[in-house]
Amino acid sequence: MDDPALPPRAHEDALRGLARLNAISRSHRVLWPRIRALAERLDGSLHILDLASGAADLPARMHAVAVRAGVRLRWTLCDCSPHAVRHGLDRARAAGLACEAIEVNALHGSLPQADLVMNSLFLHHFDGPDVVRILQAMRRAARHAVGVTDLRRTRTSLGLAWLGSRALTRSDVVHHDATASVRAAHQPAEIRTLAADAGLHGACIEVADAVRWRLWWERGPGEPA
């Protein structure tokens, strides 16, 4: 899906397929308890920068959960693909999100500030030094917190990725990317080291479920953004 030569139709099919996988696996729930707690400390509202938003399916589903919880979320959607930016913005606005969308490459450009800077299923695309650079960019942009979720590199994850991708979409891109992503994923222990190298000292890194881990870091009192 990262191939810039991928035809727009194939890209759209892949985004829809990935959105189905995210919905079935309840990706939007992995960081939600932390996000809700942070929003409640900030008077019930939160500005979130979602890095590598893709089809914006995660913000759309999280928005629905937040509305039911009485939490007000404002979004900045970021992606390096102009096609994904347009696709994601259309979906987000159709779902009623208060949002904007920007095209940005986290390795080569600065990120706009937000209360929370997050990404989901993104870091496995990069090797260790680039993961550190991305986490550093997220830390600089975060006024209060950084949240990350990604895949675990296990046989269970690989089997579920293979089965789920073929059951939920006909996209050959998703069929390939689902298992390739698991094989490229960083283990929680590896992320702990990379997060420390990026300055996210004291970050909580834990297994979230059978296929994912999560990272949560909050800026300390008096620490400048």
In this structure, are residues 31 and 149 in contact, taking their beta carbons and an 8 Å threshold?
A: yes
What is the spatial distance between Cα 176 and Cα 170, in angstroms, rounded to a whole number?
11
Per-residue confidence (pLDDT) for residue 67, from 0 to 100: 93
- CATH architecture of residue range(s) 8-218: 3-Layer(aba) Sandwich (3.40)
Tell me the three state secondary structure of residue 75: strand
For the chain, the domains span 8-218
Q: Give 197: exposed, middle or buried? Use CB within 10 Å, 0-12, 13-18, 19+.
A: middle
In this structure, are residues 145 and 174 in contact, taking their beta carbons and an 8 Å threshold?
A: no
In this structure, are residues 106 and 74 in contact, taking their beta carbons and an 8 Å threshold?
A: no
Per-residue confidence (pLDDT) for residue 87, from 0 to 100: 81
- What is the residue-level pLDDT of the chain in tens, covering all 225 positions? 565 666 667 766 666 666 666 666 677 788 999 999 999 999 999 999 999 988 788 898 899 999 999 999 999 999 988 888 888 888 888 889 889 999 998 898 789 999 999 999 899 999 999 999 999 999 999 999 999 999 989 888 877 767 767 776 778 776 667 788 888 899 999 999 999 999 999 999 999 988 899 999 999 876 766
